[in-house]
Structure 1
Amino acid sequence: MAEIAAIILAAGRSSRFHAGPQDTKLIAPLFGKPLVRYVAEAALASRARPILVVTGHAAGKVETALDGLDLFLIANPHYQTGLSSSLKAGIAALPKTAAGAVILLADMPRISGELIDRLIRVFEASVEAPRAVAPVRGGSRGNPVLIGRGLFVAVAHLEGDRGARRLVEAGGEGVIECSVDDDAIEIDIDTRDALRRLETEATTSGR
């Protein structure tokens, strides 16, 4: 089986959430649990190993929210330059044996370990190692994406607030689409309203 890691991008400033200059949306409680802990626990429930968490803004608070979990924390001193710097830091910290990495956004609390494992299975089932595996629902790609080692070098050329999706869009025939019936790949928490809406929907549906 291929060795697939997970990289959780948790360094952003949460500007749209208005969390405050020394705070971050990633520690905002969702049913009593810090937002960032949901995706971390999903990664731990999957086959992906190791699991790296890239921190930057309010790093100490993010690390406290993840206390007790078997994760590797990677500091990104350049987080203010955008998402690409966090992706670069995560890729640079991967073991040389990693055949790929699932790139997870820390503000997507509905992602499950089962979904992560499905992307890994699709990657492994390919005759030739794909450049990436992207989940698709209703014709639209979402997150997380799994990027293969063949795209690791390309990460170094990303700039600003561009992440793995940019690489996947340019991956052409080397990208495998994985059809899923799970709206979790579309749900991220950018604002306080989005957080309240998710709480309300989850309570109503019994999730």
Structure 2
Amino acid sequence: MSLRILAGESPDEDDIFKWVAGARRSRRGRCHALGGEVAVKPIVVAIVLLGAGMATRMGPNGGHKLLADFDGMPLVRRSALIAINSHAESVTVVVGHRQDDIRKALSDMQLNIVANPDYASGMASSLVTGFVAAGANGVDGVLVMLADMPDVTSSDLNRLITAFQHGKGASIVRAVSQGKHGNPVILPRSLNDAVLRLKGDIGARDLIKASGLPVIEVEIGDAALIDVDTHEAIIAAGGIPADS
């Protein structure tokens, strides 16, 4: 309306009413902002499930550990199901070694699958591949989950996610068992550049040491330390090793 006045026009009663109403709405909006009533963007976490490794400790004819049978399904599918049933925004599975078999085990699931062509170089390349893929969704943190940890539950993942949200998305969150550092971990997006620089067989543990960020530790019991790299470990954890 101010432009009309400058142009020499006289506002009528309707113009004045609309201007006053608009000004009140504008002031209310500013007051809400000052009063902290504006909706706060939720802190969002995506899961990256690492399933690209070569499973060398299973031996040349030992079968793939992620295809071992747990609860009537391949371990990698079971791990993916646990991730999907958590409060995470999305789930991305990184595949590499025997990826056709892994993809088949994950068929019809609501998740993203990305291939790491450099998987033989070590864990770092898979972490980078997954971090980039998950970051495309603009999440605040990436929960890195190893696909060969059968005792981790959706409830465990939710506890980690809740801790990350309580930390305002600015801290690393790490699962522990009686004070012993384990997995999974949540890495905030502030570590993006550091993750992209990783090389070789280096995982999140080395990154955490060098980050300088505060670390929130979440006790999840023995699940934080149990993975299955051998026939014996699979059997001990209640699984049935897959045929080669």
Larger radius of gyration: 2
Aligned residue for 2:235, secondary structure, equals: helix
Q: 1:52 to 1:181 in 2, by over 3 A?
A: closer
Partner of 2:121: 81
Report how far residue 124 of structure 1 moved: 0.8
Q: Alignment RMSD, CA only?
A: 1.7
- Matched residue, 2:225: 186
Following the alignment from structure 1 to structure 2, what is the Cα–Cα distance between the partners of residues 183 and 57? 28
Q: CA deviation at 1:33?
A: 1.4
| One-letter code aligned to 1:159 | K
Instruction: Give me the whole-angstrom Cα distance separating, in 2, the residues matched to 1:164 and 1:7.
Output: 12
Q: Percent identity, aligned pairs only?
A: 38
Give the whole-Å Cα distance in 2 for the aligned partners of 1:150 and 1:87: 15
Deviation at 1:24, TM superposition (A): 2.2
Q: Is the 8 A contact 2:141 2:169 kept in 1?
A: no
Which of 102, 105, 115 is 2:143 aligned to?
A: 102
Corresponding residue for residue 197 of structure 1: 236
What is the distance in 1 between the residues matched to 2:230 and 2:208?
A: 26
Q: Which runs of 5+ in 2 are unaligned?
A: 1-41, 240-244
Amino acid at match of 2:170: P
CA shift in 2, pair 1:154/1:110, >3 Å: same
Partners of 1:85 and 1:32 in 2: CA distance: 31
Consecutive unaligned residues of structure 1, counting only runs of 5 or more, are 201-207
Q: Tell me the residue number matched to 2:25.
A: none
Does structure 1 retain, via aligned residues, the 8 Å contact 2:151–2:223? yes
- Structure 2: distance between partners of 1:7 and 1:34: 18
Separation in 2, partners of 1:37, 1:176? 29
1:204 maps to: none
Amino acid in structure 2 at the alignment position of 1:88 = V
1:74–1:89 Cα contact (<8 Å) kept: yes
Structure 1 consecutive aligned stretches of length 4 or more whose deviation exceeds 4 Å: none
The alignment partner of 1:142 has SS state of: strand
Q: Which amino acid aligns with 1:65?
A: A
1:17 pairs with one of 58, 68, 72: 58
TM-score (norm 1): 0.89
Deviates more, 1:158-167 or 1:30-39: 30-39
Deviation at 1:165, TM superposition (A): 1.7
Q: Which whole-Å CA distance do the structure 2 matches of 1:169 and 1:186 have between them?
A: 18
Asked if the contact 1:133/1:177 (under 8 Å) is kept, the reply is yes
Instruction: Compute the TM-score of the two structures, normalised by the length of structure 2.
Output: 0.76
Three-state SS of the structure 2 residue aligned to 1:123 is: helix
Structure 1 residue 73, shift from structure 2 partner:
0.3
